[in-house]
A = this chain, B = another copy of it.
Amino acid sequence: MPRTPSENERIRRETKEQILKAAMDMFCSKGYHSASIDDVAKQAQISKGLLYHYFKGKEELLAALVEVRISDILVVMEAAEAKKTPAEQIHHIIEGALEDVRRQPEIFRFYLNLFTQPRLDPIVAKYSQKLMDEQARQFEVQTEMFVKLGVVNPRKRSLYFSSTIQGIMLMYSTYPDTYPLDEVKTQAIAEFCC
């Protein structure tokens, strides 16, 4: 008795989700290169064959995860843009970024790791670039906020802001147990939100 098409569709979606979650888990805990397809399939509790049925290969898993990451960034930025004043907008970016790294420091580490991957790595570089492109696009949006805020050199200020936030995220994800994220967040808000 064959499944109905809609049921098939649901199974497909759920299984894909399950695989992506497993891939994120394994990539985070072992690294993209060290995590094997076997690891991912076992974590997702499916067979290797089925994994290949859903994703063309290891690379496509990475691609899908990067897509998710990009859309996550977009969500935060769009929510920020929806705020009325530029101060609120920047405040929202800080909150969004720092609360995200607080929730899932390993995931941030993973993307940062991707980012710092050698550009010659034939597979990884492509997706690293995608992330960089998206970040550059969001940088323009953010700079516009500093323009509205009326600072002297908005582009430079925006860059310094990004550097600081990235640095905080880097350090928190490195020392998640001891880094006083709240206090540092306050300091950042004080410096950039007026």
Contact = CB atoms under 8 A, between A and B. Distances in A.
Interface of A: 2, 27-31, 33-34, 47, 106, 109-110, 112-113, 115-121, 124, 132, 156, 159-160, 162-168, 170-171, 173-175, 179-180, 183-184, 187-188
Nearest to A170: B166
Q: Which 6 A/B pairs are nearest by Cβ-Cβ distance?
A: A167-B167, A163-B167, A113-B116, A166-B167, A33-B33, A163-B168
Given A109-B116, A156-B183, A180-B159, A174 B132 contact: yes
A140 to B, nearest CB: 13
Q: Would you call the interface of chain A mostly helix, strand, loop, or mixed? A: helix
Given A132-B174, A163-B167, A170-B167, A31 B109 contact: no
A184 to B, nearest CB: 6
B29 A118 contact: yes
Contact of A117 (B31, B118, B132, B165): B31
A171 B166 contact: yes
Contacts of A124: 31
B174 A115 contact: yes
